[in-house]
Amino acid sequence: MKATIALIILLACGSIASTWAQLPAARAGELETVRSRCVRLLLSDTAYASERSYQLSGDISYAQDGAGYYASLTPEGAWPDVDYQSTLSNAWPPSWHLYRLLLVARQYHRNHDPQYLAALHRGLTYWTSHDFRCPNWWQNQINTPFAYSSLLLMLGTEATAQERAFLDDVLRPRIAQKNPTGQNKIWQHDIEARVALLHNDAAQLNQALANMATVIEVTTGEGIQPDYSFQQHGAMLQFGNYGLHFVNSLLFWLAVTEGTGYTFTPEKQRILFDYCANGLRWTVFRGRMDMTTRGRQLRAGADTKRGQVLYDDLRLVRALNPAQACRYFLDGFGGPADAACQLQGNQSFWRSGYLVQLARNRYFMSVKTHGPFVRKIESINGENQLGAYLNDGVSLVQRTGREYHDIEAYWNWALLPGTTCDTTMAPGDAQVLKSNNEAAFVGQVSDGAAGLSTMAYDRLGLQARKSYFLVGNTLVALGAGIESQDAKNVVTTVNQTYYKAPLLNAEATPSSLRWLWHDSIGYFFLTPGSQPKTLVQARKSNWPAVDVASPAVLAAGTEVRKTCTILLPQSKTSDYAYAVQTGLGQQQTRDAARHFPAQVLANTRAVQAIAFNDRVLAAFYQPGQLRVSATTSIEAGSPCLLIYKRATSRPEVWVADPTRTLQNIRLSINGTSRTITLPQGDLLGSSVKTPL
């Protein structure tokens, strides 16, 4: 493993002249080894090195390279295009100053031009003489000390006494946070470790890394969850924000400490690798990270940036685990050696209200919910300003991976796929953003190949029962008990994506369902008399409405895009039933409408259920009975979610308790009763398998 880590770092730095197979035995020598590796990584351009982690959030972008920023630096040590007086809370322009200096420092270490060194000192003097502060504490306590200490490590002995004093006397006292958790705690100890290297303090370095290691755990607090999702700011899904920074930070220190006494234990490394394999990689399809997992930073190119950074991370993880390379395969990347790697199935992140159905390079479907145990994604710091409904059962269906790329700028945010909303409630309104789903029955069940996500919904005077069934390349969505004081403005949105002609629409016949076809996806309406509406609209780009720091238009040709919205008005009906199937041609859609594989067994406030080939998937909101066929019935003694698989030598059932209150549940199938013990403790709400 030592040689592998060395090779990864040296490849990143553009050299494979030596390895670190033989490390100094003395701790003092080990500290110097760690510092040397740290500087090498900072001078490289890997995802887990330096500013790439900040870039992935969209808080900074580079218009020039190190040579360009050297040339444009003023004699006073500033850049004319940076607004040093900005009071933005996100994408804070003054922070760009330090990150541009990182590029200049990297260029200096390539050319050793003393004029570049002088420019670095000018730039640092400009910063230290002004001590720029941001309204957002994160910039002052994390980002500035992180970038500044990294610069001093890159400068080494060429850093001046004044530059070092600014770190020690001004920035260092700001580093400590009050009760940090999750990735915020990692960042604090990361900075402390960099300061320790600058001070040649082995004890402080050891303590900082030991503190960092305490966060590498499976927990029900903030961090890696028992289902391998990642939460920060309470029970809030943060895969693509804090959860990806988490991997970047830890891989940095794993790389630079490997083979020394400072390294993370094998147990800690395994937890990190399991999080990558069982969690993060399930969020990426064809190189793009699912919007509903990326946190509040919805900016142009965010899906592809995160996909690329995660791929770079997993390259290192795969190198460390060559015998399990396919376990860290990421969809949309790789070469011929990955041809045998499989990534297919249903992944349940019950702790965070996220369910995924994925088949490598073929389809990706996800559902995101929130309720009493899972917070919806936040809207703060001018970020995610329209995302009030982004966790209200949003169901994204993809075949190409381009369906939702940068669509945030063009979306009608009151018509998000899978949601049932009152369209008069503006998604950017402060009171709407503050509101939450108050219903208590929200959860999911999965057998690893298929899954069900269910959400009783009670928000802003609108109530509903909503279930999403994911089987193979098919999503079936059922809604019942839809009630509102103003039903005429309530709609259920089936999808809202980019328009690609043609859009085909066929009425129901005695032998065929009502169906639509658009961009290789078939839409089927399972309730007789369904009247879906389609809207094809030219919509203007409006990034600032989504994210205050984003420009309105990012590139020529993106000012206007056409979107296609499929919706079901709920003014005259209190239920709906539709299905979405990926990878279909027009004729395949016609054929499927005549012989659709899913059968709706029930769609009421009490129970929602379908039969799909050999499976029955059901949501019991209360104790009750479900008639599957003339010879099969299921009775649940308590509210639950279940999957009943019939076509096996011994039928099996998977059960979950969305209320997280039950210890066991009694099921009766065809008159045979069985009491099933439910998961407890950290596994409350998860699925349990029982043979019958």
82-101 per-position pLDDT tens digit: 999 999 988 899 999 999 99
Q: Tell me which residue of 433, 361, 424 sits closest to 392, measured CA to CA.
A: 433
**Which residue reads 């001078």 in tokens?**
43
Q: Tell me which residue of 470, 441, 443 sits closest to 610, measured CA to CA.
A: 470
What number is the average pLDDT over the span 441-452? Answer: 98
Global pTM value:
0.94
Cα–Cα distance measured from residue 88 to residue 538, given in angstroms and rounded to the nearest whole number: 31
Q: Tell me which residue of 629, 628, 632, 618 sits closest to 665, measured CA to CA.
A: 618
Whether a cis peptide bond, with omega within 30° of 0, leads into 502 is: yes
Q: Which amino acid is at 489?
A: N
Cα–Cα distance measured from residue 361 to residue 435, given in angstroms and rounded to the nearest whole number: 37
**H/E segment holding residue 276:** helix 266-278
Mean pLDDT computed over every residue of the chain: 93
pLDDT > 90 in the chain, percent: 88
What's domain 345-595's architecture?
Distorted Sandwich (2.70)
Tell which phi-psi region holds residue 569, choosing left (phi > 0), alpha (psi between -120 and 50) or beta: beta
Are 607 and 624 contacting, i.e. CB atoms less than 8 angstroms apart? yes
pLDDT tens-digit map of 353-398: 999 999 999 999 999 999 999 999 999 999 999 999 999 999 999 9
**Which residue reads 């019958």 in tokens?**
692
Query: Is the pLDDT score of 267 beyond 60?
Result: yes
pLDDT tens-digit map of 246-259: 999 999 999 999 99
**Which residue reads 């929200």 in tokens?**
442
Question: What is the pLDDT at residue 180?
Answer: 96
Cα–Cα distance measured from residue 418 to residue 420, given in angstroms and rounded to the nearest whole number: 7
Question: What is the pLDDT at residue 47?
Answer: 64
pLDDT tens-digit map of 269-287: 999 999 999 999 999 999 9
* Main-chain phi, psi angles of 443, to 5 degrees: -175, -170
Instruction: Please spell the DSSP secondary structure of 327-393, one letter per residue.
Output: GG--TT---GGGTT---EEEEEETTTTEEEEEETTTEEEEEE--SSSSBPPP--TT-STT-TTTTSS
What number is the average pLDDT over the span 605-610? Answer: 98
Query: Is the pLDDT score of 51 beyond 60?
Result: no
Handedness of CA 632, 638, 641, 643 (dihedral sign): negative
**What are the extents of the domains in the chain?**
345-595
pLDDT tens-digit map of 488-524: 999 999 999 999 999 999 999 999 999 999 999 999 9
Question: What is the pLDDT at residue 45?
Answer: 74
- The encoded tokens of residue 510 equal 């005695």
What number is the average pLDDT over the span 550-579? Answer: 92
What number is the average pLDDT over the span 614-638? Answer: 96
Name the CA radius of gyration of the chain, rounded.
27
Question: What is the pLDDT at residue 52?
Answer: 65
Lowest mean pLDDT of 53-62, 205-214, 319-328, 634-643, name the range: 53-62
Question: What is the pLDDT at residue 27?
Answer: 67
Query: Is the pLDDT score of 18 beyond 60?
Result: no
**Which residue reads 């995610």 in tokens?**
384
What number is the average pLDDT over the span 631-635? Answer: 94
Question: What is the pLDDT at residue 496?
Answer: 98
What number is the average pLDDT over the span 596-624? Answer: 97
Question: What is the pLDDT at residue 90?
Answer: 85
Cα–Cα distance measured from residue 299 to residue 91, given in angstroms and rounded to the nearest whole number: 11
Beta strands in 404-559 (DSSP E): 420-422, 442-446, 450-459, 462-471, 474-483, 490-498, 503-506, 514-518, 521-525, 533-540
Cα–Cα distance measured from residue 560 to residue 595, given in angstroms and rounded to the nearest whole number: 39
Q: Tell me which residue of 163, 226, 160, 217 sits closest to 186, measured CA to CA.
A: 217
Query: Is the pLDDT score of 49 beyond 90?
Result: no
What number is the average pLDDT over the span 430-438? Answer: 96
> CA distances (Å), 245 to each of 53, 216, 223, in order?
6, 13, 11
- Strand arrangement, sheet containing 514-518: 442-446, 450-459, 462-471, 474-483, 576-582, 521-525, 514-518, 503-506
pLDDT band at residue 14, thresholds of 50, 70 and 90? Answer: very low
Three-state DSSP class for 18? coil
Handedness of CA 602, 608, 612, 617 (dihedral sign): negative
Question: What is the pLDDT at residue 13?
Answer: 45
pLDDT band at residue 62, thresholds of 50, 70 and 90? Answer: confident
Query: Within a 10 A sphere around the Cβ of 391, how many other Cβ atoms?
Result: 27
Cα–Cα distance measured from residue 366 to residue 397, given in angstroms and rounded to the nearest whole number: 7
pLDDT band at residue 551, thresholds of 50, 70 and 90? Answer: confident
